[in-house]
Structure 1
């Protein structure tokens, strides 16, 4: 652990904390706070947003910053385990928090417009399910992953596209606008199960590979190229500072790091999916129970 902490001494404050991205995410949080607060009256059919939902959204923004621009992002370029942790936070935790935090009337204001009608076909549950999982698995093909990691512009664009795909995927699980629901609560249980199933092959490949798959975590020269996303100037100078490669590699072998990263990803994904299954099942159960109770209420109303 001492070696791990000493490695951080080679990075500046801006490289660890990404101030520009921090300011951007803070601006998003402020705009949201005003939209659901003082500016709420400017939106049609708006209503107050519970504090817990506001906290959920702001927590999602904070986690996204930490995983994509803060310290966790830098650590994700140093160890594959942190990279997969960032993936789980960004594309499994953050979407659920953002979808929960944004009220239905704000979604309607943003997307209930004629401009979006040609794109609504993309919100088909099957398309959303396969789009995210295929993009995620495609990204973790070794050659594709290494290529994206060393091309900074493509890296940022792909991560943003993956976040959009993750939001589309989780939309059909949480469905923040009830009128726009495309699948029933019961079918959502199967949707969640398929989500876990479709990502299993990629995780299995990573966990049980007999050798390191990703050059950016095993080859010092490839790693130095990938660090351009985090470090200004010539990242190759880091090779001299880290004596030929990142000191973080001394914590465990590249293969052990890769296996641990795959395990972390799968465990976090399954934990989040179990929570989603419980949430959807309980909501479906309460709905069915209310339907059974309704005839009795109608009879009582008729008697009165």
Structure 2
């Protein structure tokens, strides 16, 4: 399959050199900010190596999902499209939020225009509902087929969906603790709500009795959607669909839904553990602080006597 991709699409379409440059540029800006430029930021402190690794991994997956081969292959088969969604929306945002130190996140947020409007959508319930509604809306067959055939609309929707994913993950991760408005117990409930809201879209895809997306069943629609991803005026022949459909259409569709749901459950389960660990650490820190204050008050009492 890889050889066929190279023959029919070429290096520029598969690897998006411009996206590579942009990704490297953003990564370089990050390392400048946590290195030589760190003293320009308030409350800055050295960034642990594990955070740097998480950020680099997040940027690599960001490139892979939106500019690398996975983006093109996601237009060939629905199951690969869902893998691209998993990488771009379920892995990239948390990796970036965990990789950027909170002092840098504060500086970035303060530079965002229309912060008051964004603050409304950053409300925990709103953020989670918004992401899941947009994801489900995107996968309604008529909407999906329309967006895949209209590049500007598709790119705009994908951009807003990615922002919604960041807001949703911000709620779960709470990367700036002092800005966090929900307790750990509430965050556990939000994670369960998040998984519940994604279920209908996956169920529609998994239990459909026939393929529901014209983009993958109609060779002309398939070729049109794929051509919009290629540079310049390059087009794709509808006849190529038989070479790249490695699974029967219905099995491919069901596989995409199953993979999305399974990965989502595993990932959300992992973050339940993450929230629980944060909860235990906070309780221990508060208990230690209370113990220190008690000991201090006792010493002061004896000192006055």
Q: State the TM-score, normalized to the length of structure 2.
A: 0.92
Higher relative CO (Cα under 8 Å, sequence separation at least 6) belongs to: 1
SS of residue paired to 1:285 = helix
Partner of 1:262: 257
Partner of 1:248: 244
Mapped to 1, the partners of 2:236 and 2:4 lie a distance apart of 14
Partner of 1:200: 199
Partner of 1:7: 4
Partner of 1:130: 129
Q: Shift of the alpha carbon at 1:107?
A: 2.0
Residues 127 and 168 of structure 2 are in contact (CA less than 8 Å); yes or no, is this contact kept in structure 1?
yes
Q: Structure 2: any 5+ residue segments left out of the alignment? A: 300-305
Q: Structure 1: any 5+ residue segments left out of the alignment? A: none
Mapped to 2, the partners of 1:83 and 1:291 lie a distance apart of 45
Alignment of 1:1-304 (within 5 A): 4-8=1-5, 9-112=7-110, 116-119=114-117, 120-232=119-231, 236-240=235-239, 242=240, 245-249=241-245, 251-304=246-299
Mapped to 1, the partners of 2:287 and 2:136 lie a distance apart of 43
Q: Shift of the alpha carbon at 1:144?
A: 0.3
Mapped to 2, the partners of 1:136 and 1:163 lie a distance apart of 10
Q: Shift of the alpha carbon at 1:281?
A: 1.0
Q: 1:187-239, CA deviations, whole angstroms, 9 ceiling, x for partnerless residues?
A: 00000110000000000110110000111111110001101232235555423
Q: 1:34-87, CA deviations, whole angstroms, 9 ceiling, x for partnerless residues?
A: 111111111122111111111111111110111111011111011111100010
Mapped to 1, the partners of 2:281 and 2:112 lie a distance apart of 35
RMSD: 1.8
Shift in CA distance, 182/299, structure 1 to aligned 2, threshold 3 Å: closer
Mapped to 1, the partners of 2:42 and 2:287 lie a distance apart of 34
Mapped to 2, the partners of 1:13 and 1:46 lie a distance apart of 41
Residues 221 and 236 of structure 1 are in contact (CA less than 8 Å); yes or no, is this contact kept in structure 2?
no
Mapped to 2, the partners of 1:295 and 1:60 lie a distance apart of 38
Number of residue pairs aligned between Structure 1 and Structure 2: 297
SS of residue paired to 1:11 = helix
Residues 12 and 231 of structure 2 are in contact (CA less than 8 Å); yes or no, is this contact kept in structure 1?
no
Q: Shift of the alpha carbon at 1:7?
A: 2.8
Mapped to 1, the partners of 2:227 and 2:220 lie a distance apart of 12
